Structure formats: structure tokens, C-alpha cells
Amino acid sequence: MKTQTLILTGLTFISTIGCMKKDNLKVPAVTTLAVAAPAALPSPFKVAYYAFDATPNNLPLTNFSVEANVVVLFEGTGWEMADSLHYGSSNSYILTVNPNYHSYKSIINHVRVLQARGVKVLMNVDDAASWNTTTPFTTYNGQKLTYLQFASFVKACIIDSLHLDGIALDVEHMGSTAANTNFTNLIKAFGAYFGPLSNNPTGTVYTAAIYSGGQAGYAIGQVPSVAQYLNFVEDMGYSQNNTTRFNRWANYIGAAKTMIGVSKQYNSVSTAITAAAWQPSSGSHKAGIMVFAGNVDSSYTNRIFRATTN
């Protein structure tokens, strides 16, 4: 493994330390390079998932996709990076599965490089069966959080501590179980801090990866009153018909809030390029295109984004 040390002129180091408190659920700030001024929201969105466990996986975050304007960190959690004392570990999967990264700080340093280029960097957040309950998250010390407390906790990790640009929900972990009101209350609560209805609508991005096999996704992708809190949804049914899966959501929430995802594992480069260039006949442009595990093949990923039309 080759370790890269990055020093950016004019940037200082942050070492503000906080503590977990029951009332406001603050988390420690990580020590890392200072944050560049946030870029405006891109259009169309060109979303590249950096899957830390992708195979092959030889490129770091800074090199894998020069065409992406949104990058999603896929693996690990925002709270383990923000509060590694309580949630993290040197043996964490995100730090042992990838040849480029063996510390949280090294990941965040490369995030800062992307942000300085104007790229929005999001953290993946997995849904869970607990989201269908009144206490969707339990802290390291056993404190059960309500949906409002959990949303505040995620905001403290993602924005206040890590200074990322938003979150991308991965909605597939409940399988055939449908989302209930507890679930959708949490989706909306996240929207207070991320996305178009948040207190920073031009600086944050809020999205969700959904597909027909995860029933909870229907509560987002086919319900405008919920989808309004997100910038867009991404269909991850890579092996399904591209037009069918786009319309499955766009017919309810609109083309401008919908994109499909492609993956080299399931979609040839020619098929993916066609999908990237395609626009719906409704006259409303789609939100953009997503490439999952874009770090598997940099050429594949960049060619797809270059074909994406506005």
C-alpha cells in the first residue's frame, strides 16, 4: 500500500473536541483539514458511489471519478468517523477492506480534496427494522433515541463534526416489510437538516437509493409528501428495465426528482451510456445518473457521466 500525505496551502487543522450529551447529542469533531466553502448544487447530478469494498479497488477517492459532482461514501457510518472513541475501531470494516484507507482521518482528508474541487460528498446511511419503531437508534451507552433525536444526532455527526454535504439513504434492509409512520417520520426529520426543505437547501444534498424489491422505498418514491424532503431518489434495481424502473417513481414524484443507477456488474458501458443520455418524453429533465461502485472502473464511470445530458 502506498500512503499519500496531502498538504493544502492555506488550510489549517481543526481539533475542536466535544462530548456526547443527552440533551443535544453532540459528538466530537474530527481532526482533519479545514473545510472549503461549499459549492452550489450541481445540475444534473452525477452521483458516484465509492464502495470501499469494491473489487477491484485500486484508486483512492481523489482519483476514481473526475466527472462526478456528487460522491457517496458507501460502507461504515458517519458516527464511527465522527466519534471513533465510542463507535469506531481500528478493525472497522471500512478501514480494513480498502487498500487506500486505514484511518478515518485519511478518508476525511481526501473528502476535503473533493470538496475543494466543488464535489458534494455524502455519507451513506443504511435503513433498519428499528426505523419502523419509535426509537430508531440506540447509542453506544444504551440510550434509545426518538426519530427527532436520531435525526439531530446524524446532523451532529455529518454536518457539525465531519462537515460533509449530506446523506444518501440505502433503503433495502427491511426487504418485504413496508415502511410505517415511524419510518416516514424519520425520513422527514432528516429533511430538517439535509435537502431542499432544510435550513441549508443550497448547500446540502439528501437522497435515497430505492428499488422495487425493498418495500420501504415505496413510501418515499411514490409519496410526493415524503419525497419533497429529498433532492432526488435513485433506483438501484440495476438488472431491471431502465425505463420501467425510472417511471415506477417518476410517475408519482416527477422526473426531476428521479434517476436510475447503473453498475458495471449489471450494465454494459453502451447500455449505461444510453441510459445516461436518455431523457423522459414528459419534457421534464431527469435528476441525473448514478454509478454504483464507481471505483471499480474509472473509465466506465467517467464515460457515463460525460454522456449525461442536462
What is the tens place of the pLDDT at every residue in 67-116? 999 999 999 999 999 999 999 999 999 999 999 999 999 999 999 999 99
Q: Is 190 contained in some domain?
A: yes
Q: Is 12 contained in some domain?
A: no
pTM of the model: 0.89
Give the pLDDT confidence score for residue 37 in this predicted structure: 63
Give the pLDDT confidence score for residue 139 in this predicted structure: 98
Give the pLDDT confidence score for residue 102 in this predicted structure: 96
The model's pLDDT over 208-256, given as tens digits with 9 standing for 90+, comes to: 999 999 999 999 999 999 999 999 999 999 999 999 999 999 999 999 9
Q: Is 115 contained in some domain?
A: yes
Q: Is 4 contained in some domain?
A: no
Give the pLDDT confidence score for residue 5 in this predicted structure: 29
What pLDDT band is residue 293 in, cutting at 50, 70 and 90?
Answer: very high
Q: Looking at the 3D structure of the chain, how many domains does it have? A: 1
Q: What is the residue range of 253's domain?
A: 19-307
Q: Is 122 contained in some domain?
A: yes
Q: Is the pLDDT of residue 24 over 60?
A: no
Q: Is the pLDDT of residue 15 over 90?
A: no
Give the pLDDT confidence score for residue 141 in this predicted structure: 98
The model's pLDDT over 263-280, given as tens digits with 9 standing for 90+, comes to: 999 999 999 999 999 999
Mean confidence (pLDDT) of the chain? 90
Q: What is the 3-state secondary structure (H, E, C) of the chain?
A: CCCCCCCCCCCCEECCCCCCCCCCCCCCCCCEECCCCCCCCCCCEEEEEEECCCCCCCCCCCCCCCCCCEEEEECCCHHHHHCCCCCCCCCCHHHHCCCCCCCHHHHHHHHHHHHHCCCEEEEEEECCHHHHCCCCEECCCCCEECHHHHHHHHHHHHHHHCCCCEEEEECCCCCCCCCCHHHHHHHHHHCCCCCCCCCCCCCCEEEEEECCCCHHHHHHHCCHHHHCCCCEEEECCCCCCHHHHHHHHHHHHCHHHEEEEECCCCCCHHHHHHHHHCCCCCCCCCCEEEECCCCCCHHHHHHHHHHCCC
Q: Is the pLDDT of residue 14 over 50?
A: no
Give the pLDDT confidence score for residue 33 in this predicted structure: 55
Q: Is 80 contained in some domain?
A: yes
Q: Is 14 contained in some domain?
A: no
Q: Is 10 contained in some domain?
A: no
The model's pLDDT over 163-189, given as tens digits with 9 standing for 90+, comes to: 999 999 999 999 999 999 999 999 999
CATH number of the domain enclosing 280: 3.20.20.80
